Amino acid sequence: MFYWLLAIPVLALLILAHEWGHFVSARWMRVRVLQFGLGLGPRVLTLGKRNGVLYTLHGLPIGGFVLPAGEDDETVPDGLAAQRPWRRAIVLAAGALMNLFLAFFLFTGLALVPHEVTLTGQVGVIGIMPDTPAERAGLRGRDILLLVNGRPAVDQQVLLEFALNGGREIEVVVLRDGQVLTLTVVPSVEPIHNVDSIGVSHYLMQDPVATLSQVLPDKPAYDAGLRTGDVVVSLNGHVVQDKLDFWETLTAAREAGGPLTFVVKREGQALPPITVIPPPPDAEDQTIGIGSLPATRRERLPLPAALLQGVRDTGDAVFLVPRVLAAIGRGSIPVQDLAGPIGIVQATQQVGEGSSMAGIVRFAGMLSANLFVVNLLPLPALDGGRLFFVLLEMVRGRRIPSTVERRIHRWGMYVLLAFLALVTVFDLVRLFTG
């Protein structure tokens, strides 16, 4: 399906919220607005004119703008430049603040409606690949992660923690056979076998019962008689202790080759042994058709709890941005991994294919929070860069000459467009190389 089309309403919502923040705050500060444009580049459509404001649509769907009167001319009485510094600061910051509010609104709204929530718990590892950071650190299959880089390991965000610290030594606290151990691992900067950055084939939520949460039709496991919901008692004669034990035993048995003999319980009744014949070594699909889906529950929070959840989710999304930027700065994340407009469309398609509408809403909230932070960075041509000059004026007590500021922002825009072009090249490389 054309899930990439979901990027159109998502990006339109983020851009509209941002520019609406500038527009409303400018009106509030009694700054005359000349034009409200969606998109950048050449104008393709004039939507109309009302109260002196021209509404337009432009060819490049990568942004928008609000054009105030006297943006750089202090002689225009009702223009932006003629306003006191604190008034200009409000107008400049309002777009980013509207994106912050939109993220909070989306996360809170998501918590208010019934939706599927992945349950958190103890995260275990199985399938440690040879000659990888995980093996060199001493990680073993069935280890349960307690802390990763000082952060509790309660869900698969541990993957993000490893990715943010590529090339750096970090501590991993694990539970192994009832003992707590502290290991030092150095994640790889590049993914290992397109799985993760330390060499673990699977991260699974621990469960005392090894339940088959996914058995796919027309696969060897299903054809042999296994079904979703079966509880594994033993595998190839090994009595299964828990979920991690089962998957680690299955991984080892698949590597050894040969048939797999399951003893399972179905609705509390033990079934005769079921033998699964894996695909031959030359088969394109080597899987037997069972998977481990995370446990979920359907929940709807009351308004006070939803507001609190909205604050938490918005804060997590906001503070992730500087962590990612810091990781890029020290080389833990390659610059080539940055995504531009095409990358956002690709990501939207992936979210659409793998998630419900709740996943799309959450993704939009994350993007809006990111836009809040990025727009306030003190870089020329961004709102944060213009805001920096206003704050500098407040400290100095006098304004930077408008000709100097305009020149800085103009060159900043050139650099920004060049950077955007470079990131677009990265997007296209990923698109055509998979």
Chosen domain end from 248, 270, 294: 294
200 and 219 inside one domain: no
Question: Which among 208, 212, 258, 262 has a CA at the least distance from the CA of 233?
Answer: 262
The single-letter DSSP state of residue 211 is: B
How far is residue 152's CA from residue 412's CA, in Å, rounded to a whole number? 40
Chosen domain end from 294, 314, 348: 294
- Is 175 inside a domain boundary? yes
Q: Which residues contact residue 179 at a Cβ distance below 8 angstroms, ignoring those fewer than 6 apart?
A: none
* pLDDT recorded at residue 354: 61
228 and 271 inside one domain: yes
Q: Which residues contact residue 52 at a Cβ distance below 8 angstroms, ignoring those fewer than 6 apart?
A: 32, 33, 34
How far is residue 344's CA from residue 334's CA, in Å, rounded to a whole number? 17
194 and 239 inside one domain: no
148 and 174 inside one domain: yes
* pLDDT recorded at residue 352: 64
Question: Which among 201, 139, 129 has a CA at the least distance from the CA of 174?
Answer: 139
199 and 218 inside one domain: no
- Is 372 inside a domain boundary? no
How far is residue 429's CA from residue 427's CA, in Å, rounded to a whole number? 5
Chosen domain end from 145, 178, 205: 205
- Is 403 inside a domain boundary? no
Give the 3-state secondary structure of residue 382: coil
Q: Which residues contact residue 397 at a Cβ distance below 8 angstroms, ignoring those fewer than 6 apart?
A: none
Q: Which residues contact residue 245 at a Cβ distance below 8 angstroms, ignoring those fewer than 6 apart?
A: 142, 210
* pLDDT recorded at residue 1: 54
The per-residue pLDDT string of the chain (434 residues; one tens digit each, 9 = 90 and over) reads 555 667 778 888 999 999 999 999 999 999 999 999 988 888 888 889 998 899 998 887 777 889 999 888 888 888 898 899 999 999 999 999 999 999 999 999 999 998 888 878 889 999 999 999 999 999 999 999 999 999 898 887 888 899 899 999 999 999 998 899 999 999 999 888 778 899 998 899 888 999 999 999 999 999 999 999 999 999 999 999 999 999 999 999 998 889 999 999 999 999 999 999 999 888 888 899 998 888 788 889 999 999 999 999 999 999 999 998 888 888 888 877 777 777 777 777 777 666 677 888 888 999 999 999 999 999 888 899 999 999 999 888 888 888 888 889 889 888 888 888 888 888 788 777 76
For residue 173, what are the β-bridge partners? 147, 182
- Is 103 inside a domain boundary? no
- Cβ atoms of 369 and 323 closer than 8 Å: no
- Cβ atoms of 197 and 189 closer than 8 Å: yes
> Based on the structure, what is the number of domains in the chain?
2
220 and 289 inside one domain: yes
223 and 196 inside one domain: no
DSSP-H helix ranges across 132-234: 133-137, 158-163, 220-224
Strands (E), 7-100: 33-50, 53-68
- Is 135 inside a domain boundary? yes
191 and 162 inside one domain: yes
How far is residue 207's CA from residue 400's CA, in Å, rounded to a whole number? 63
- Is 164 inside a domain boundary? yes
For residue 125, what are the β-bridge partners? 203
127 and 201 inside one domain: yes
191 and 220 inside one domain: no
The terminus-to-terminus CA distance of the chain in angstroms comes to: 18
- Is 129 inside a domain boundary? yes
- Is 289 inside a domain boundary? yes
Q: Which domain holds residue 285?
A: 214-294
Give me the amino acid identity at 130. P
**Phi/psi-derived region of residue 84, left when phi > 0, alpha when psi is between -120 and 50, beta in every other case:** beta
Question: Residue 143 maps to which CATH number?
Answer: 2.30.42.10
